[in-house]
Structure 1
Amino acid sequence: MRDKSHDKRLSGEEAEKLAIAVLAWLAGEPDMMGRFLALTGVEPQQLRSAMTQPAFLGGLLDFLMQHEPSLLAFCAASDTKPESVMAAWAHYVKPGLDSGEY
């Protein structure tokens, strides 16, 4: 079973701010933004309205969590700890069957 003593919980506002920081970072990384848009099917003109949707914000964080090099690049560029991204991701994404949280 996973040791939860190191889990960090973020408020909804903190998780939202971190997800928006990911979007801002992606905006400065054209290749990465293109990959994100291609994988999600979101059109560039939809980004502004999508930012208000929790599922989209969770998707931004999930995008990083699914590719460690991208996660580490964001963390280095934004001086953010990977654990903070993981905590924000956990705010939006429900635990899976293999999480031990059921």
Structure 2
Amino acid sequence: MSDPNAHDRKDPEALALSALGWILSDPDRAERLLTLTGLTPQVLRDGLGSRDVQAAVLEFLANHEPDLVLAADALNVTPQDLVAAHEGLIR
């Protein structure tokens, strides 16, 4: 039987938003996201639909392999799926 969420996991925007939810579930990781990306909570809220903000979230993960692997596992995708989603958002 096919996975009904498989399409969403391949959609770069949906994957970025899922990844952001995963990041924000851990206060230390969330703080590191803000510090390293320069994003603010307000910019995140206002920019949820922005491909630039979504790309920044995925770039944050891509630049830190331990989080990339953990996020991929939690989201039931591969690390390569997250990297590909990032690349899809910056094109």
Q: TM-score, normalised by structure 2?
A: 0.81
Gaps of 5+ in 2: 1-6
The alignment-based identity, stated in percent, is 33
Q: Deviations over 1:23-74 (max 9, x none)?
A: 1001111111100001122222332211121111111111111111110010
Whether 2:20 is the aligned partner of 1:23: answer: yes
Whether 2:62 is the aligned partner of 1:65: answer: yes
Find the structure with the greater CA-based Rg. 1
Q: Moved runs in structure 1, 4+ residues, more than 3 A?
A: none
Gaps of 5+ in 1: 1-9, 95-102
Aligned pairs (5 A) from 1:7-46: 14-46=11-43
- 1:62 aligned partner, one-letter code: E
- 2:60 aligned partner, one-letter code: F
Instruction: Tell me the SS of whatever aligns to 1:51.
Output: coil
RMSD: 2.0
Q: TM-score, normalised by structure 1?
A: 0.73
Are the equivalent residues in 1 in contact too, given 2:13–2:89 (CA < 8 A)?
A: no
